[in-house]
């Protein structure tokens, strides 16, 4: 992976009070211009990530939760696929959250994602998450009716209160050994339009197209404001946001990989040490295995 001298670090937000989404250029590539070098760096990053994930799994102390949020066609699926391509599938759990079911609507808004939190030793990935409750539901407040909340609880402060609950939830997770890292893939409206048109023009991409996604473009400004407010209210040192420029997929994937690697390296992961009792067991196991080998030679 390139270091700081090779390209600028992604936009890491740990204190949202001064954060402004307009300060992040969706087309930024952190000073990198060579796609081929970026792809080579991503390949090296994937290999490094595989090493760290193996230690995370073996140590069985920490869990890591990666939350991906974005406007449609920003590249969440591709980023997850490419960045995690070299990781042992046993150590990763991926969940995609669509519109809530009737059962999920009968519970609090954190319930359905809480059931999917990663175990110790694993990396959990949320493709969309509980943040939808302060994004799409905020842009479409009529969805609140389906949640059947007591009327007196649906106040003007509900979005602020939900952000407070999310921040408290993430603080709780961090205190229990779950490192939470959140990504907002920041795509421009112009690039989103280009990608939507590609889905219409290229037969192999037709399946990705949804007319509903295009209709949501009419709420672009509302979504940008909702994302900015959510990031401002929930960015903390223990659960940072990475606002990743997403107009260039090759840079987006590299920036995400670097952020994940930095997170894992910060945990100081190590393979478990073997104590004397275990070493004695190893010696006994070796003796048995070598005894089998000698016995086999005698039979021949």
Strand order in the sheet with 241-245: 11-13, 241-245, 178-186, 63-70, 123-127, 92-96
Q: Two tokens at 287?
A: 């003796």
Residue 49 near residue 125 (C-beta atoms within 8 A): no
Position 106 in a domain: yes
Question: Same structural domain for residues 189 and 290?
Answer: no
Tell whether 171 and 257 lie within a shared domain: yes
Residue 2 lies in a domain: no
Domain of 128, in residue numbers: 11-269
CA distance 137 to 144: 7
Residues 180 and 298 in one domain: no
pTM: 0.90
Task: Report residue 295's pLDDT band, with 50, 70 and 90 as the boundaries.
Answer: low
Summarised one tens digit per residue, pLDDT across range 73-100 is 999 999 999 999 999 999 999 999 999 9
Based on the fold, state whether residues 91 and 111 are members of the same structural domain: yes
| Higher-confidence position of 6 and 227 | 227
CB atoms closer than 10 angstroms to residue 27: 14
Q: Could you tell me which residues are beta bridge partners of residue 13?
A: 241
Please indicate, yes or no, whether residues 40 and 113 belong to a single structural domain of this protein.
yes
Q: Are residues 240 and 291 in the same domain?
A: no
Given a cut of 90, whether residue 290 has pLDDT beyond it is no
Non-local (6+) Cβ contacts of 281 within 8 A are: none
Is the residue at 6 inside a domain? Answer: no
pLDDT in tens, 208-246: 788 788 899 999 999 999 999 999 999 999 999 999 999
pLDDT greater than 50 at residue 5: no
Per the structure, how many domains does the chain have?
2
CATH number for position 219: 3.40.50.300
């Amino acid at each position: 992976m390139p270091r700081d001298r090779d390209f600028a670090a992604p936009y890491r937000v740990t204190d949202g009070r001064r954060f402004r989404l307009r300060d992040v250029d969706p087309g930024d590539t952190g000073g990198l211009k060579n796609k081929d070098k970026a792809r080579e760096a991503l390949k090296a990053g994937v290999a490094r990530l595989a090493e760290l994930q193996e230690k995370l799994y073996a140590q069985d102390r920490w869990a890591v939760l990666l939350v991906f949020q974005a406007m449609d066609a920003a590249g969440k699926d591709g980023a997850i696929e490419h960045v995690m391509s070299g990781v042992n599938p046993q150590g990763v759990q991926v969940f995609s959250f669509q519109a809530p079911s009737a059962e999920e609507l009968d519970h609090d808004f954190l319930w359905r994602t809480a059931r999917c939190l990663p175990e110790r030793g694993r990396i959990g990935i949320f493709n969309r998450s509980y943040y939808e409750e302060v994004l799409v539901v905020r842009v479409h407040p009529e969805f609140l009716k389906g949640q059947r909340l007591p009327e007196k609880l649906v106040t003007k402060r509900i979005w602020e209160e939900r952000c407070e609950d999310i921040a408290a939830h993430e603080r709780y997770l961090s205190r229990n050994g779950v490192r939470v890292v959140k990504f907002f893939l920041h795509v421009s409206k112009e690039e989103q339009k280009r990608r939507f048109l590609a889905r219409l023009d290229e037969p192999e991409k037709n399946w990705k197209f949804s007319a509903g996604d295009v209709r949501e473009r009419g709420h672009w400004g509302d979504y940008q404001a909702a994302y900015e407010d959510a990031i401002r209210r929930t960015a903390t040192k223990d659960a940072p946001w990475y606002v990743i420029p997403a107009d260039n997929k090759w840079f987006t994937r590299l920036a995400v990989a670097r952020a994940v690697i930095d997170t894992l390296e910060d945990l100081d992961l190590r393979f478990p040490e073997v104590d004397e009792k275990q070493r004695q067991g190893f010696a006994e196991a070796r003796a048995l295995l070598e005894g089998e080998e000698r016995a086999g030679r005698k039979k021949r």
